[in-house]
Chain A
Amino acid sequence: DVKVTQSSRYLVKRTGEKVFLECVQDMDHENMFWYRQDPGLGLRLIYFSYDVKMKEKGDIPEGYSVSREKKERFSLILESASTNQTSMYLCASSLLKTSGGPYEQYFGPGTRLTVT
């Protein structure tokens, strides 16, 4: 069974703290993604990676960085957490396909981060 796991379901951090969110997939997928989900805004892409040590900015990368040292693991880092980063964070993975679909992304359960 396909599995994407995230290190925490709930996290509470203080403003200015460095925050690490970890994601692991067991499907040998090349692509991995980090999204944030906010009511009325859908899912917005923060960063994605299509290979180890490779990363590309998504739509809202400001205030975030990522690390992918191993194929199965993709970390999201908040260098100095701020209250406007309070959100649900979702990790996903998919196969690297150049054409034909289905381009299915498999999601973890999410981490609810609160920054106070």
Chain B
Amino acid sequence: QQQVKQSPQSLIVQKGGISIINCAYENTAFDYFPWYQQFPGKGPALLIAIRPDVSEKKEGRFTISFNKSAKQFSLHIMDSQPGDSATYFCAPHQGGKLIFGQGTELSVKP
């Protein structure tokens, strides 16, 4: 049973462009919606997260947009940089556990 669907699987963006990654979920009991970032050879690390009572959260170049009725949330990376090249996971939370999406491999070309 796939509770979380993430798209696209991979993404290539030019430096300075906007990267957009989407996450759709089924479980309405999720109560926190984070994105994790993973560089090669490292474990994932929390990038940004949003509570379900907020529709948007911005931290620097990173923004989460949350649509509760559509059961979707997305990560926007503005002015994408080569250093943003990594794998990104949505990982909504329930009961102390995170449910990870399939991952999106982002490559930002100089």
Which A residues fall within an 8 A CB radius of B?
4, 31, 33, 35, 40-45, 48, 50, 58, 90, 92, 94, 96-97, 99, 101-110
Q: Can you spell out 27 A-B residue pairs with CB atoms less than 8 angstroms apart?
A: A33-B97, A40-B9, A40-B102, A40-B103, A42-B4, A42-B6, A42-B102, A42-B103, A43-B91, A43-B100, A44-B100, A90-B43, A94-B96, A96-B96, A97-B96, A101-B31, A101-B51, A102-B49, A103-B93, A103-B96, A103-B98, A105-B98, A107-B42, A107-B44, A107-B45, A109-B41, A110-B41
For the complex, give the distance between the alpha carbons of A58 and B94 in Å: 13
Which chain B residue shows the least CB distance to A2? B45
For the complex, give the distance between the alpha carbons of A85 and B28 in Å: 32
Contact with A109, one of B9, B43, B96, B102 (Cβ below 8 angstroms): B43
Which chain B residue shows the least CB distance to A97? B96
Interface of B is mostly: loop
Quick one: CB contact mask for B69-110 with A, threshold 8 Å, 1 for yes?
000000000000000000001010100111011110000000
For the complex, give the distance between the alpha carbons of A44 and B89 in Å: 12
Report B26 CB to chain A, min CB distance, Å. Answer: 15
Report B64 CB to chain A, min CB distance, Å. Answer: 13
Q: Is the CB of A92 within 8 A of B43?
A: yes
Q: Is the CB of B96 within 8 A of A31?
A: yes
Q: A94-B96, A102-B49 are in contact. Are A43 and B44 (CB under 8 A)?
A: yes
Q: Is the CB of A107 within 8 A of B93?
A: no
For the complex, give the distance between the alpha carbons of A104 and B44 in Å: 11
Chain A residues with Cβ under 8 A from B31's Cβ?
99, 101
Q: Is the CB of A101 within 8 A of B101?
A: no
For the complex, give the distance between the alpha carbons of A104 and B49 in Å: 9
For the complex, give the distance between the alpha carbons of A104 and B45 in Å: 9
Q: Considering residues B4, B46, B51, B98, which has the most beta carbons from chain A within 10 angstroms of its beta carbon?
A: B98
